[in-house]
Structure formats: C-alpha cells, structure tokens
Structure 1
C-alpha cells in the first residue's frame, strides 16, 4: 500500500484550512493500547486494556472505512471517527477478532468493550444493537476478513493473551468490565484529541497534587481557627476536626468509614480534612465529594473554592458557566483532577451506565477517597445496587468511602423481612474517641442546642393555627412536606419568604442569599440592643440538608426522623442564643399538618416516626434513635432493588450481561418531567441569544439555572394552552407572562405536583 494510501484513523484540518498529516491507524491503535493499559494498571488489568486498545479500531482497516474517512465530508468533521447513521461500522470487526483469538469466554468480555467503545456497552441479547446480533452480522458480512485483507501489522493482531484475574466474584464482573471500558474509551478520546485538537489537549493543564492541596487546606484552617469566636460549638468543631485528622493517619488505606456528627458540627470541612490527610498518608490520587441536593452543592463548592480557587472541579448539571474554566470543563469529562465536587446521581448512575461519556471517568475513581455527604439520602429503591458498588470498590479498587451525616442510616448486614440485606459490613466510625471528643453519642450531647417539641400525632394543626403560632416569633423557619402546603401557609403570612422547587435555581439561590443577609443583619441588631426585623420563611424540605441558615425557632411538619433532625440543624446552628449570661436552646416545634406526607417514601418515613413516638413520646435525637428509625423505615421498603439491576448484571454461563437495559432502568430520579425555562432575572436575555445563535454548551448551562422541572401531564396541558412553547426539540420556555410569580415561582402546575423525595441534580 502506498504512503498516501496508508491506513489512517482520523483526518483533520489546521486552523488555516490546510490538511495536516493524517493520523496513522497503527500508531493510533498502539497509542490507545498503551494509554488504556496505563489507566488499567491501577487496578491490575493492564493486559486486558492493552488488547482492547490494540483491537478497538481494527475495523478501520476495512476499505469501506478508508474510503469514507478520505471523503471530503469526512475530512471536514472533527468527529469523523464516531459511528452514526450512514457511517461505516469500524468497531465490530475488532470484537469478532477478540472472540476468534481468545475464545468465547475471554473473547466475549473484550468484545463488549470493543463493540461498545462508541455506541456504549451493549446487552448480549435483544435487538439489532445487541452484542450477539452484531457479532453474527459482522461475521456474515465479512467485516473482519475485509480488515485482515489489508494486512494490519502482526504486532496489532497478535497481542499477548491476558493473564490477570477479574476483581471480585462473578457478581462484580460488570463493574470490572466498566472499569476496563472506562480505561479504553478515555484512552481513545485522549489519543484522538491529541491529534484532532492539540490545543485542547494542552489545555488539560496539570492540577496540583494532594500534598499541595493539603498545605493550602491547613493554612486556611489555621486562619479560621485564629478568627473563630470561642464558643462551645466552635470548640466542639475544632475537636471533631482534630479527631478526623488523627484517624486519617491511623486507619488503613482503604475501606468503609462513617463520620457521625450532629448538624452544625463542622462535618463538611472535617470530612475534607480526613480525606486529604488520608490521601496523603495512603497515596490516594484524588478526593471526590458527592452531594445529593441541588440546594447545597454550590454552597459546598463555593466553600472549597474559597480554599483552593480554580483547582476545584464541579461536575453537575446546575453549574454556572461563569464558574467553569476550560481546564475544569475538560477535567469534568474524565475526573482527572485531585478534587471533584459532584452529585450522587452523577456518581452512581456512572457506575451503572452504558454510555461512553458517563463511563469515561470511572477508572479515575481507583485509589481515591469518596465522601458521601448526607449518606442517609441514598435512594432506598436502588440501595442494594448502590451499596454493592460501594462494597466492591472499597474492597478491590483501593477506594476509601466516608459516609458523612448527622443521621447515620442502618446499613449493617442483617435480615429484613425474611431477606438477607448485605448492607455495608465493617464500617468504622471516625468519632470513636481519642485525645479530643470521645464518641458520636457525646457529640450529640455537646451539640444539643435545640429543644424538640414533639406533637400528639392524633391531633392535626390547621394552616390558620400554624400561621398564628409562627407570627408569635420574629424570626421563624417553617418547613412542610408539599409545595401546596408551603403555598397555603405562605399566603397566610403575607410578608414571608417562600422557597420550593417551583422557583428556578437562580431565583432560589438569590432568595437563600437574601435570607442569610437578613439573618446576619438581625444578629448585628441584636448585638447592638436593637429589635430585630421580622423574618419568616416558609419552605419545602429543600432547605434542610446542609443549607447554612440559623433561626432561633423552626416549625417542622411531621416527617421522617432524619428530616426532622435536619430541620433542627437550621435552628440555633451556631449556639449563640443568649438570655442574659445564660445560653438558651432553640425551639423546634413538630406539628401534624392537615394532610399526611405524599405517598410512597415520604409517607413511609412519617409512619416510622409515628411508630417511634408511640414508644417514646419525647425522644432525644441520638444515634441510637436514628438507627432504630432507619431499621423501621427500611423494613417498610417494598424492594431495595426495584428494577432488578443486580439480576440484569449477573452474567450467565456464556457471559450474557444486560448492560444497556440496566443502565436504562438505573435512574435515581424518575424521568417523568421536562425542564421549562422561566422568565426571571436574565433568562430573557439568554433565551433571545439561544433563538438568535442556536444552542451552545455554555449557553445551555446558563439557561439550566432559569428552569423548573414540570411533570409531563402538566407540560402537555400548558403546551396545548400556548402557555409554554418549544424553543428547541425537548426544550421548553414560558410563553405566558403570568406563569411565573416573583413570590411563588412557577404557577403552571400549582396544586398538582407534590414535593419530590429529593431535590436531586444530575
């Protein structure tokens, strides 16, 4: 074959329009193999990854592909190597070759990776996209024969048979394959990017290492300590921090830990302290901080950014593009940075994903510290697959997990309703005592800043009665279970501030900031001996977990015990209530609303709390009480793997695995709505730009902050009424000016939508 017709993998133009030298196919295969092996070496599977890299694009030797890639339309497209409708299949030939070379066992394992390296991991059985059908079709059409006819180098075709063993048992095979898949697809992306856009590759600038981050963290904490007011709460926070640092050095290099600290006890920075010191001591490569709630992820990221600047990488859908740099945007693709702030949805859905973009980052989880903030909010109906992944990653992939919460869930292995619950064995609590705080139980006594007033659960409180009680206090937070309830109460408190997911993200952030400013102003007035200005807030539970506000009085609708404890964390958070020289506890009033919680999980939580109160009408919020509550709650869950994810991923005798079906079913948030862009703030400006210039990644990120999620049945009605318009396929915008209210936000579905179990983002 002449030099001008040598097999190529990619072709691209220079900025001046001239064609650069094509990307040699053999060099691409060797480069991907070397980089994939480097990725997989971290978990002892470099030999498998090397073969996958050598064979992943073997189908590009086919004359049909070489003709296609040389076509002018192919040369003009930066992503010409990606398969899509009308393009030449170049991945299945390598999958066939893997089976021919290694047999039906090992060969099929590699075939999943190779056949899926663009389209995503397939199911073995099913439609035309199944691995079985693709292998059969490729054999009939002679894809591999066509490739071999172009005489690829023997060094490509005859790789050494892999000898390393999979991590874990048969049930863990799917995760091992995803780790290999991640190693392959990230290597393919990076090698291709290096050819296609060397400037983009150069932008993946090196991040500082863990030692550097730890030094900056220590300096920041020293400044905080020097400026801290010497209160009892701050002394306990300092003790928690010191104990986390001590345990980070003492404990072994991977495993499962819990950090049980009452709300307001400094968990966020103490967990980060443990993670950074643990990473340095045990040579971990990065820290991943996973958060369940939209309302706190930006708050946490801002705290970290105040310490580490642009070296914090946020990866979630609600990220403001103004906080995103070219470097952090690239790092979010594969988590190649030392500190990642992300969501539970992003983390766990990636662990069960089939798509290349979702799986690409997974190999960078190896040898890391993962902090699961508010661990009790792992979705119970997907709890078994989530915990199974945690067990496997901690045991075989060098990952330290920290379950961080004030209300530690009962994840111990045991029998639940006649079925064995594998849970999380051997979780070690960091607050066990030492030279500082003694244990978690003592912490709850030391940080007891509130008096919880429990209700007679047989007596309901009307909204009028509640409004009257709320107005007896100048600064009050009232938390309810439904958006309809929040509106009912807020209407009776005309000067109150309202919070729910009916407000778009930018509006919520602005309102929470207003609340903080007014609380701080009132603290200054109180210090000066002046009367405080009334501030009454009505919210759904989105304010509970981690939002840093501090009220002297909180009212909480009866709910799960964990929700009540989180609500209590918004009361006297800093322990600064005083009467004369005596400290005064904040007041948390639990009441029974006119309607119970929405059905399903919230109602199960409410019923479990009622059962506890029937045993003790005035319980103290302690770790023992939370364990009792979660045991009752878990016993009420119909299934902790409602979609049968683990069965779908259990391989058959012929390595049959349903990757794609499992990924389609593993959604922590029900996919029953669509975002609607509302007309608030700068949304109009960005919508006009979208209509004028079309979609762009940064612009879509901007608009995400001005959207609310609307249930499908409500959306269909609003579209039919011309209150909402479709501005792009699947993207909708408010068309009726009356649809969004400055006080209550989106009004289009008022009265029809209950509060979702979690204000998750993806």
Structure 2
C-alpha cells in the first residue's frame, strides 16, 4: 500500500502517512501528558490523517502535485472523517462503556474538525452535526483505510491497549477534585485535546517542510534561574541607586519581597493588590520566576487589558532579562483566520501561501509572553484553529492578569471557568493583579479561590504611603464642552507645567487635541495625541519622547484615550479624567505624581458633554455609578471612609456594576435567545438543546456530550464589533515588514516575521477598513490573508488616516 501525507515543496520528498501519524502522536502525547491525558491526545494524533490511506487521496495529491496551476478542488477528497469513524466503529464494536463512549466523542470530534473547528454535538437547530459526520457520512473505502492504518501505523492489539490506556486517563480526569462540574471539564478537555492535535499536526508538517526533526522543549529551569538572578541584580541596583527613602520606595521593596516569599506557596489562584505605582510588574515577575522554578512551570504569561498597551512592560522585562528573542509580545492575529467548513489545506498535503500561514509558528511557545485579555479569551472561546492552537501552552504556566478589573462584563463567567480549568487541571498558577480588585464572586460561576488568596495584605500604612493625589470633583458641579475644557487645560498648564487629559472616545480626544494646538500655539507648550489608531511602536516612541520632556519639566499636554491608564509607567503633575468607571479613574490617578516625589497633586474629574457613549455601555454605566458615589461624598464627606478610592468604595462600585449587568454575565446571545454557558455546558432541562433534539427527532441522541462548541465560538467576540489587524508602514521596520510579506518567504522567516509584525499592527473595525478600502488606502498580501496600509493612509499625529490622506513625509524627518 502506498501512502502520502505530504509532498515537500522544495525537493518533492514524500512524507508517508505512517511517518506523519507517529510524529504527530509523539508531539500530541507530550502536550497531553502535561495535564495527564497523554494517550487521549496521542490517540487523536494517531488517527487524524487515517483517511489518507486511500487510493482516492493518493491519486488526488499526486494530481495536484503534477498540476500546480490547475489542482483538484480543495476538500473534494475528505480525509478527516475516516479516522473518526474508525475509532467510533472500534469502540462501539465492544460492550457499551460510558468512558469509552466519552473518549470516542472527545477524540473523534478533534479528528473530524482538525482543518476547521470543533463540531456541535447538538446544534441550536436541534440537529447533530457531529453524528451526521461520524455515523451518516459515507466513506467508500473505510475498510481499506482501516486495514491500512492497522498494517502501517498500529496493529489491532496494540491499538486496543492504547485505547484502553486513554480510557483510564479519562476516568482519572473525571474524578479529579474540582469546582467545575462534569460537563464543564469535558468541554474544556475536548478543547485541550483539539489544541494538542492542531499544534502537533502543524508543528510536524512545518518541520517536515523545513527538513527538521522534533524534540521536546528544553527544560526552562536553568533559563528561569538565570532570569531570576538578573531580576534580583536589577532590583538591587534600583535600591542602591535610589537615595530616596520615601514611604513609597520603602513599601515597593516590602511588597516585592513579600511576592518573593509567597512564591513558595502551592499553585492556585491568588490576588495581588498593589496600589497604582507600587511596582506590580517587577513584583509579579519576581513571584512568577521564582514560582516557576519551584513548581516546574514552563512559562510566565502576562495578560493585560485590551484597552491598554503591552509594549512598555515587555520592553522593560526584555532589558532586565537581557533577552530579546524569548520575550514574546502578542497584540493580535496578524493573519486573518476565516471560518472554513471544509478541509482547507490546498491539495491536502502541498504547501501554498494559505498553508504557510497556518504552519508558521504562532502557538505561544515562549518562556515569557505578553498578550491581551482579548487574545486570552479568544484562545478558549473564539472560532478559528489559530486561536485554540495556543490553549495547551496556558497549562503549566504562571499567568498574571494585570488590571484584571478590565475583564469585559459579558465575559466574566467564561473568564472564571477558564481560570478554574487552568488551576484545577492545567497545573497553572494564576495571579489577579490590580490596584482595584473586582468583585468576581458576585457572579453565578465563581472563581475557585482559596481562603487566604491575598499575596500582600492591604494595610492602612500602605494605603497612606501611596496617597499621592488630591481628587477634585468637577463632574457634579458642571459640564465641559471641548472649548471650555481646552481653556481649563490651559489654566492647569500654567499652574502645573504638564497635564494629562484622558477622555472616553477617540473622537473627542482628537477634537480636543486640535483645539489645544490652536489655543497653545504661542505658549511654547508641546501637545501630544495618543490613541489605539497608532501602532504599538508608534505609541512607544511618542511615550518615550513625552518622558524625556517630563524629565526636563517642559510644558506639555498629552491627550489620550484610556489606553494610557494601565501598564504605562509615566508621571504627570496634573491629570484631568473624563467621568467613567471608578476603576478607570483610579488608574488615571496613578499617572499623576506616580512616584510620590511631590506633595499631593491634583486629579480633576470632569464631565465631557460631547462624548457619545451609546456604543460603550460599560463605560456609560460606570460613569453613572461613579457620579452617584461622588454625589454621596458631596453630601457626606465621610462616606466610603472619606476616600473615593478606598476598599469600601471599590467594593460598592463593583457590586453595583455587576448587579446592573447581572443578565449579561453569562454572555447572552440575542439571536439564539440563549447564553454562551448553556451552549458550552448543556443540561437536560426542558429548554435545553437535547430536549429540542428529542422533539425534532423523536428520540434522544446516542451521545453523552450535548454541547454546541462551534455555534458558541461563531457567536463569540470579546468586543461588540470584531476587528481586523492591519500592518502599518511606521518607520523603516514597519515598511520592511510589509515588503517582506509581499515577497517570497520561507516558513522559518515567516514565523519570525509574524512575531516582528506585532508592534506594527492596528486593529480596525469593519467600517474603518471599508472606508480605507474605498479610498484605496489598504492592500492585501499573502493571497488576501494579510492586510497592510498604504503609506499615505498613516498619519504622524493620529495613526491611521481612514481617508488615505496622511502626511507620510513627516515620518522621514
């Protein structure tokens, strides 16, 4: 029997199905072993390409290889279904055993889905796409395929033993102590096995194309020990160089030492409540590296809000660890990952542009990672194999959620369940790191947090030491339009020298910036604009320039959206914050007198009348709640312990905030009249999917798994309007990256290029992308999988110019 899994593009060498199957099995076993499901994941690897033991497939791939300009229609030979049907038939040939049936459902779904996304076991249409594929789709030569598999990959007796080992692993997994119920843990296990298969398959295919062999990742113990030593040296230098023995510096050191000591604790979910400016990044890194050493973790991952920037913390860590290569920033998916309903490998074994992009190393395989809340949630819940491929690399990790209060409200229950899975089954340690801990236990699906979860007790001394601002409420007295606000800013510049203004929408930020440029034209005052329309590299350059001017105490104003509130080490003499949620205002205050070098500095809360928050419901409700609390304090100055940022105030704010959104906490999907939790963890109730199936089909499905993972993923998006990542030609490197995407690129180079491109992307809403396309401001690369801006569509002040009228020449100065 002749078998072909892939034909190498460079030299025409064939990788046989048996070679590929065992290689993928080996990688999948290594991934699965991290959570005790070595054989379950390995089984998916063994069987995923069994359908290629087919005369039809051999003829198909050879025809495609010989006719590259006129290949057969992709997907016209189904090679994904056979492996699933083989396993289903094997299991059901024996006595009915629940663990074996569950095992088959988990593994078969991964196999039949490995070029698209997991199938629904029961769909909202009261059908079973999974059963249709496994039991009803006819495979002509399934018997010949089965014989080929057992002859060339694994004989029947060894296969039986392998399946039994997998079933035993499943039995152990199902009895492991956890706050998650059986259906929840099975849903996450199915996703994990799918992640293992996707990554193992693509990794082996990439290595074959590059003519390399796989070896397990090296132990990170020595690397983390080296990192930890470098961090301690840096902290020692900071302490030695600082002549300032202020309470702020004293407590920064104390809290950093506490994090170091806490690293001895077992892996769990913990809270790190450090006041803004208290050194959360280095303190949590100190914990993360030491805990990784003690508990054999493979990586330290920082998750930051989707509304902020990550490059500053990543760059700071790179410099301390003296490692540019192994500190990964992941802002967004550079490559579009569309929803395919067919096996979308062109010629199913030959590499074209689309396949290159899929095979490029994009799986979070790095010891230190900085990414966003959007990307984290997408890994667990969004459609597309590129997202879920990364899931398994969240296990055996230390995961630090910086500014965890920014979890989008409709995702809170999903967030809690993901963290519980990672803690209970993924052997990961979770740190909820913020100055304003949210009340995540107000929701139905709670975090499984230990009783003593606080890494650092919040004492009155620490609170007093980090009081560096005087909050002045102007919001309950008056409203501001742009003209009035500009005049107020000018007054503060005269008094305070430098001012940061944070508003809620890009529209008013840009309008105020233009007004200030005109108003302060003769005042020798520098005006800066920051927004998410700029790429990360552009924002970083702007911030560096601002810091230099602040150090020289020059007059300046920075007008920004809320992106500057979290993760940005910068200090102004005065902050003006448009009314928003209390957590946002607290974060904004952290950009004022950050290091406590001066007496109390002013933070003004104003109400900007021109902001349209209709499409920003969380900000709108947060604004309303904060206004009510400010009114409370105006009536009674002793309310909330006399401090709008007190623990009592923060607790009250989040309790009211979650109460307002209580009907949305489970991610309600209006078109389906269901929430996401009911799709992912279906029950047997009267309104359940399975009862709808019974009414439609006249009987129960022959399934233990009853959820709708594909439908849930298709309806999931962290932000209301999905965005597309677009490369921007900022500076020489941005232009070079775009040029290289437009040329011939090897797989190894493409992986590196996608990593470099992270700092030169901007996420655009559909209407923005459409507007740019209309004005010829965007081009497509890599067969339409990558988008890039024309040089004239990027502006030196605002970033993206939707009308393609940017002033690119100013960049060359």
* TM tier relative to shorter chain: 0.7 to 0.9
- Contact between 1:648 and 1:659, CA under 8 Å: does it hold in 2? yes
Q: 1:639 aligns with which of 664, 679, 691?
A: 664
Q: How far did 1:464 drift?
A: 3.2
Q: How far did 1:708 drift?
A: 4.6
Q: Does 1:594 align with 2:609?
A: yes
Residue 5 of structure 2 corresponds to 9
| Rounded Cα–Cα distance in structure 1 between residues aligned with 2:731 and 2:207 | 40
When structure 1 is superposed on structure 2, of 268-277 and 709-718 the one drifting more is 709-718
- Contact between 1:313 and 1:331, CA under 8 Å: does it hold in 2? no
Residue 390 of structure 2 corresponds to 361
Q: 1:342 aligns with which of 371, 374, 383?
A: 371
Q: How far did 1:744 drift?
A: 4.0
- Contact between 1:320 and 1:705, CA under 8 Å: does it hold in 2? no
Q: Deviations over 1:548-602 (max 9, x none)?
A: 111111111111111111111110011112xxxxxx1111111122245612111
Q: How far did 1:144 drift?
A: 2.0
- Contact between 2:114 and 2:197, CA under 8 Å: does it hold in 1? yes
Q: Does 1:102 align with 2:91?
A: yes
Q: Deviations over 1:96-133 (max 9, x none)?
A: 11111223543222210111223332223569993222
Q: Does 1:333 align with 2:362?
A: yes
| Rounded Cα–Cα distance in structure 2 between residues aligned with 1:147 and 1:676 | 44
SS of the residue 2:77 aligns to: coil
- Contact between 2:383 and 2:716, CA under 8 Å: does it hold in 1? no
Q: Does 1:189 align with 2:213?
A: no
| Rounded Cα–Cα distance in structure 2 between residues aligned with 1:505 and 1:311 | 18
- Contact between 1:204 and 1:331, CA under 8 Å: does it hold in 2? no
Matches within 5 A, 1:24-103: 24-71=16-63, 73=65, 85-86=74-75, 88-103=77-92
Q: 1:393 aligns with which of 419, 422, 432?
A: 422
SS of the residue 1:407 aligns to: coil
Aligned length: 700
Matches within 5 A, 1:23-422: 23-71=15-63, 73=65, 85-86=74-75, 88-103=77-92, 104-125=101-122, 130-138=129-137, 140-150=138-148, 152-153=150-151, 154-155=155-156, 157-158=159-160, 159-161=162-164, 162-164=167-169, 165=171, 166-167=173-174, 168=180, 169-199=182-212, 208-232=222-246, 233-249=248-264, 251=265, 253-293=266-306, 295-308=308-321, 309-310=323-324, 312-317=326-331, 333-353=362-382, 355-413=384-442, 420=444, 422=446
Q: How far did 1:318 drift?
A: 6.0
SS of the residue 2:276 aligns to: coil
Residue 478 of structure 2 corresponds to 459
Matches within 5 A, 1:726-737: 726-727=779-780, 729=784
Q: How far did 1:701 drift?
A: 7.0
- Contact between 2:310 and 2:329, CA under 8 Å: does it hold in 1? no
Q: Is the alpha carbon distance of 1:490 and 1:115 closer, same or farther for their aligned partners in structure 2, counting shifts above 3 Å?
A: same
SS of the residue 1:334 aligns to: coil
SS of the residue 1:141 aligns to: coil
Q: Please give the TM-score of this superposition, normalised by the length of structure 1.
A: 0.83
Q: Deviations over 1:633-681 (max 9, x none)?
A: 1112140122322211125554133222222222213344556666764
SS of the residue 1:163 aligns to: helix
Q: How far did 1:431 drift?
A: 4.5
Q: Deviations over 1:601-650 (max 9, x none)?
A: 11011011012123223541122221111111111214012232221112
Matches within 5 A, 1:661-680: 661-674=711-724
Q: How far did 1:301 drift?
A: 0.8
| Rounded Cα–Cα distance in structure 2 between residues aligned with 1:700 and 1:645 | 32
Q: How far did 1:745 drift?
A: 4.3
- Contact between 2:308 and 2:565, CA under 8 Å: does it hold in 1? no
| Rounded Cα–Cα distance in structure 2 between residues aligned with 1:687 and 1:335 | 21
SS of the residue 2:552 aligns to: helix
| Rounded Cα–Cα distance in structure 2 between residues aligned with 1:45 and 1:691 | 38
Residue 777 of structure 2 corresponds to 724
| Rounded Cα–Cα distance in structure 1 between residues aligned with 2:334 and 2:371 | 14
| Rounded Cα–Cα distance in structure 2 between residues aligned with 1:401 and 1:566 | 22
Residue 482 of structure 1 corresponds to 505
| Rounded Cα–Cα distance in structure 1 between residues aligned with 2:361 and 2:19 | 27
SS of the residue 1:310 aligns to: coil
Q: Is the alpha carbon distance of 1:645 and 1:241 closer, same or farther for their aligned partners in structure 2, counting shifts above 3 Å?
A: same
| Rounded Cα–Cα distance in structure 2 between residues aligned with 1:201 and 1:84 | 32
Q: Please give the TM-score of this superposition, normalised by the length of structure 2.
A: 0.78
Unmatched runs of 5 consecutive residues or more in structure 2:
93-100, 175-179, 336-357, 518-525, 670-674, 683-689, 691-702, 805-813
| Rounded Cα–Cα distance in structure 2 between residues aligned with 1:385 and 1:604 | 21
| Rounded Cα–Cα distance in structure 1 between residues aligned with 2:737 and 2:324 | 28
| Rounded Cα–Cα distance in structure 2 between residues aligned with 1:544 and 1:567 | 5
- Contact between 1:314 and 1:332, CA under 8 Å: does it hold in 2? no
Q: How far did 1:281 drift?
A: 2.2
Q: Is the alpha carbon distance of 1:744 and 1:339 closer, same or farther for their aligned partners in structure 2, counting shifts above 3 Å?
A: closer
| Rounded Cα–Cα distance in structure 1 between residues aligned with 2:32 and 2:215 | 23
Q: Does 1:517 align with 2:548?
A: yes
- Contact between 2:581 and 2:623, CA under 8 Å: does it hold in 1? yes
When structure 1 is superposed on structure 2, of 368-377 and 223-232 the one drifting more is 223-232
Q: How far did 1:709 drift?
A: 4.5
Q: How far did 1:725 drift?
A: 5.0
Residue 497 of structure 1 corresponds to 528
Unmatched runs of 5 consecutive residues or more in structure 1:
322-328, 415-419, 434-438, 523-532, 578-583, 751-762
Residue 758 of structure 1 corresponds to none
SS of the residue 1:296 aligns to: coil
- Contact between 2:205 and 2:359, CA under 8 Å: does it hold in 1? no
Q: How far did 1:704 drift?
A: 6.7
- Contact between 1:256 and 1:428, CA under 8 Å: does it hold in 2? no
- Contact between 2:327 and 2:366, CA under 8 Å: does it hold in 1? yes
SS of the residue 1:460 aligns to: coil
- Contact between 2:120 and 2:708, CA under 8 Å: does it hold in 1? yes
- Contact between 2:308 and 2:563, CA under 8 Å: does it hold in 1? yes
Residue 545 of structure 1 corresponds to 566
| Rounded Cα–Cα distance in structure 2 between residues aligned with 1:315 and 1:645 | 29
Q: How far did 1:749 drift?
A: 7.8
Q: Is the alpha carbon distance of 1:717 and 1:331 closer, same or farther for their aligned partners in structure 2, counting shifts above 3 Å?
A: closer
- Contact between 1:255 and 1:394, CA under 8 Å: does it hold in 2? yes
Q: Deviations over 1:163-205 (max 9, x none)?
A: 2224552122111111122223333333444433234858977
When structure 1 is superposed on structure 2, of 476-485 and 124-133 the one drifting more is 124-133
RMSD: 3.5
- Contact between 1:290 and 1:341, CA under 8 Å: does it hold in 2? yes
| Rounded Cα–Cα distance in structure 2 between residues aligned with 1:539 and 1:726 | 29
Residue 539 of structure 2 corresponds to 508
SS of the residue 1:497 aligns to: strand
- Contact between 1:441 and 1:622, CA under 8 Å: does it hold in 2? no
SS of the residue 1:670 aligns to: coil
